């Protein structure tokens, strides 16, 4: 009789704060890869769907409760898990790291944020999963307005530029970027200014949630 294929979920949770991108990892409490770092995740129970499973695992292993996680990819290479034939459905999301307090339990000994450019060695095939998640995130922000919710309620336009420069990991054409963002009408200019460096005070903006989510639903394309 052939071995039963088991199903797991993994969560790639990116954090953005002040120009830095991090990813949420857990230190494993048990074998395999005991004391190794891995993405939060685990086996799907018989009485839950995939979305319930990934939210439960995140909550149990890190204390995180995230409103929306997008399905990334299904990973099923032979030998990806020493425990047997295991297929994993991975999800990813983008949050503010200070949105919740990290609390590790169940299979996790510790939960911690790591800069994506200074990562420890990862268990299983989680390095591959993370690489694909980064590529998906960078691809997604070039055609859909995402990430505005990671900024303060009121922000100078330079903060939005920094967000996109950081997520894309490259410089952007600032003039063209501002023109494209302005054309989307997702920003409301406020009657407030803030001093930044030695330059003249900069206008503050807030993002128009109604317009923002409408564009996300439409899958608007605005190549950067």
Q: Enter the pTM of the model.
A: 0.87
Are 203 and 131 in a shared domain?
A: no
- Taking residues 23-45, report their average pLDDT: 97
Q: How many domains does the chain have?
A: 2
Residue 42 within a domain:
yes
Contacts of 139 (CB under 8 A, 6+ apart): none
Residue 223 within a domain:
no
Are 27 and 125 in a shared domain?
A: yes
User: How many other CB atoms are there within 10 angstroms of residue 2's CB atom?
Assistant: 5
Give the CATH number, domain containing residue 114. Answer: 3.90.79.10
Structure tokens at 210: 């109604």
Are 95 and 206 in a shared domain?
A: no
**Model pLDDT for residues 96-131, shown as the tens digit of each residue:** 998 889 999 888 999 999 999 999 999 999 999 999
Are 12 and 112 in a shared domain?
A: yes
**Model pLDDT for residues 153-203, shown as the tens digit of each residue:** 899 999 999 999 999 999 999 999 999 889 888 899 999 998 877 778 999
Q: Answer whether the bond into residue 186 is a cis peptide, omega within 30°.
A: no
If phi > 0 it is left, if psi is from -120 to 50 it is alpha, else beta; for residue 41 that is left
Q: Which of 83, 114, 140 delimits the end of a domain?
A: 140
Contacts of 100 (CB under 8 A, 6+ apart): 63, 64, 65
Q: Which of 100, 124, 140 delimits the end of a domain?
A: 140
Q: What whole-number distance in Å separates Cα of residue 190 and Cα of residue 213?
A: 20
Gyration radius of the chain's alpha carbons: 20
Residues of the domain holding 171: 148-218
Structure tokens at 140: 């997604």
């Amino acid at each position: 009789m052939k071995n039963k294929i088991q199903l797991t979920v993994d969560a790639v949770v990116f954090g953005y704060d002040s120009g830095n991108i991090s990813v949420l990892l857990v230190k494993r409490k048990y074998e395999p890869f005991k004391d190794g770092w891995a993405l939060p995740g685990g086996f799907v129970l018989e009485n839950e769907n995939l979305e319930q499973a990934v939210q439960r695992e995140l909550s149990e292993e890190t204390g995180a409760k995230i409103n929306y996680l997008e399905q990334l990819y299904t990973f099923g290479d032979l030998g990806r898990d020493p425990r047997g034939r295991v297929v994993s459905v991975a999800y990813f999301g983008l949050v503010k790291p200070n949105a919740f307090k990290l609390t590790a339990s169940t299979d996790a000994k510790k939960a911690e944020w790591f800069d994506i450019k200074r990562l420890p060695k990862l268990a299983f095939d989680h390095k591959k999963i993370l690489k694909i998640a980064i590529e998906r995130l960078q691809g997604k922000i070039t055609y859909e307005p995402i990430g505005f919710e990671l900024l303060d309620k009121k922000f100078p336009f330079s903060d939005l530029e920094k967000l996109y420069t950081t997520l894309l990991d490259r410089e952007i054409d600032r003039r063209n970027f501002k023109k494209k963002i302005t054309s989307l009408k997702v920003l409301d200019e406020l009657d407030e200014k803030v001093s930044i460096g030695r330059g003249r005070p900069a206008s503050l903006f807030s993002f128009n949630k109604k317009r923002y989510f409408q564009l996300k639903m439409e899958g608007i394309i605005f190549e950067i």
